[in-house]
Amino acid sequence: MTDNSGGAIWRQGRIWISVVAIVTALAGWWAYDAMVSPKWMRNFGLEMTARATIISDRSAETAFSTMRGRPEPDSPFICLANLTPFEWDRVFIVASGGPVPPPLAKLNWVGDRAAELNTRLESDPRYQLIAFERGGEVVELGYYFTMWANLSALARADGFSRETAVFIADSDGETFLVKPAVSFTPDACAKNRM
C-alpha cells in the first residue's frame, strides 16, 4: 500500500491557488470596469481636444491626427449624438455643485440614484454629471471631472435633444470650456460621424 496523502494535499493546493487566481481576476476586471470611463466619454474628451484647437490655438505642434489615427477635425462642432453607441432622446448635463434638475430627477432611476447624485454633486466640486434619457428612463450616465473640462455652460433644466446636443470647446491652456453651439446648420454633424 502506498501513501498518496502528499498528492492529495498538492491537488487541494492547486485548487486553492486556482480559486484565488479566478477571484483575483474577477475582482480586477470589476475594478477596471468600474474605474475606466465608457468609450463615449473618452471620445467626448478627444473631440474637445481636437475641436478646441480650431478655436483656441491651431499651432504647428497641434497634430490631432496622431491621436488614435483620427483625421484632423473639419469643424469646431462636437456632435454628442455621433459619439454615443446607444439610443437616447435627451442628454442632461449637471454642473459641479448640482442640483439635479427636476425633469431629470423625475425620470426612472435604479434605486434612489437621483438623491445619491445630488449628494455627490453638492459635496464634491470635482464632479459634473452627464445623463442620457430615453423613454422616461436614464439609460446611461457618467461623471465628467472638472479638471478635464468645465461643462457648466451646458447645464440647463430641459437638457438637449439629439439634434441640439452640438457643442464647441475652447481652452485656456489648462482646461476646456464647453459651450452650446449657437449657430450651426442641420448638416453640421453629418460629416463628424464616428
Higher per-residue pLDDT: 8 or 154: 154
Q: Are residues 84 and 60 in the same domain?
A: yes
Are 47 and 71 spatial neighbours (Cβ–Cβ below 8 Å)?
no
Evaluate if pTM is beyond 0.85.
Answer: no
Q: Are residues 133 and 52 in the same domain?
A: yes
- The residue with cell 445630488 is 118
Higher per-residue pLDDT: 48 or 166: 166
- The predicted pLDDT at position 165 comes to 94
Q: Are residues 43 and 28 in the same domain?
A: no
Whether 171 is covered by a domain: the verdict is yes
Are 152 and 180 spatial neighbours (Cβ–Cβ below 8 Å)?
no
Whether 194 is covered by a domain: the verdict is no
Whether 10 is covered by a domain: the verdict is yes
Tens-place pLDDT, residues 76-132:
889 999 999 999 999 999 988 878 888 888 888 765 566 777 777 778 888 888 999
Whether 80 is covered by a domain: the verdict is yes
Helix count (H) and strand count (E) of the chain?
A: 4, 8
Question: What domain count does the chain have?
Answer: 2
Q: Are residues 105 and 20 in the same domain?
A: no
Q: Are residues 82 and 22 in the same domain?
A: no
Domain span holding position 179: 38-189
Q: Are residues 59 and 43 in the same domain?
A: yes
Q: Using CA atoms, how far apart are residues 179 and 187, in angstroms rounded to an integer?
A: 19
Tens-place pLDDT, residues 51-69:
776 555 544 444 444 455 5
Of 26, 78, 27, the closest CA to residue 194 belongs to 78
- The predicted pLDDT at position 194 comes to 47
Whether the per-residue pLDDT at 166 is higher than 90: the answer is yes
Q: Are residues 31 and 91 in the same domain?
A: no
Q: Are residues 8 and 75 in the same domain?
A: no
Q: Are residues 76 and 149 in the same domain?
A: yes
Q: Are residues 110 and 44 in the same domain?
A: yes
Higher per-residue pLDDT: 152 or 57: 152
Q: Residue range 25-32: average pLDDT?
A: 64
Q: Are residues 101 and 180 in the same domain?
A: yes
3-state class (DSSP) for residue 91: strand
Q: Using CA atoms, how far apart are residues 76 and 50, in angstroms rounded to an integer?
A: 8
- The residue with cell 491652456 is 173
Q: Residue range 4-26: average pLDDT?
A: 70
Q: Are residues 19 and 92 in the same domain?
A: no
